[in-house]
Amino acid sequence: MSVKSTIIAEFERVSREQGKVLNRLSDNTMLLDTGLDSLCFAIVVARLEDSLGFDPFQTAEDEKFPVTFGDFVKFYEHAAG
Partner 1 sequence: MPPDDPSLWGLVARGGIGPGRLLHAAERSVPLTSLATRTSLGGSSLDLAGANVLLATKDQLPSALALIELDGLAHRLVLCPPDVPKEHIGPICAAAAIDAVVSDGRLEAADLPGDLPLVQCDPALPSPARRPEGPSCPTEWILLTSGTTGVPKLVVHSLASLTGPIRPGTAAGNTGGVWSTFYDIRRYGGLQVFLRAALGGGSLVLSSASENVADFLTRAGEAGVVSISGTPSHWRRALMSPAAGRIAPRYVRLSGEIADQAILDHLAVCYCPAPVGHAFATTEAGVAFEVNDGLAGFPASVLTRGGEVEMKIADGSLRIRSPRTAAGYLGPAAAPLRDADGFVDTGDIIEQRGERCYFAGRRGGIINVGGNKVHPEEVEAVINRHPAVRMSLVKARKNPFTGAVVAAEVVLRSAEEGAGDTLRAAILDACRRHLAPYKVPATIKFVDTLPVGAAGKLARADA
Smaller CB separation from partner 1, 3 or 75: 75
Q: What is the 3-state secondary structure (H, E, C) of the chain?
A: CCHHHHHHHHHHHHHHHCCCCCCCCCCCCEHHHCCCCHHHHHHHHHHHHHHHCCCHHHHCCCCCCCCEHHHHHHHHHHHHC
Binder of partner 1 out of 18, 35, 52, 74 (CB under 8 A) = 18
- Establish if 41 lies at the interface with partner 1 (CB under 8 A): yes
- Establish if 1 lies at the interface with partner 1 (CB under 8 A): no
Site residues, partner 1 (CB under 8 A): 17-18, 30-32, 38-39, 41-43, 45-47, 50, 55, 57-62, 64-67
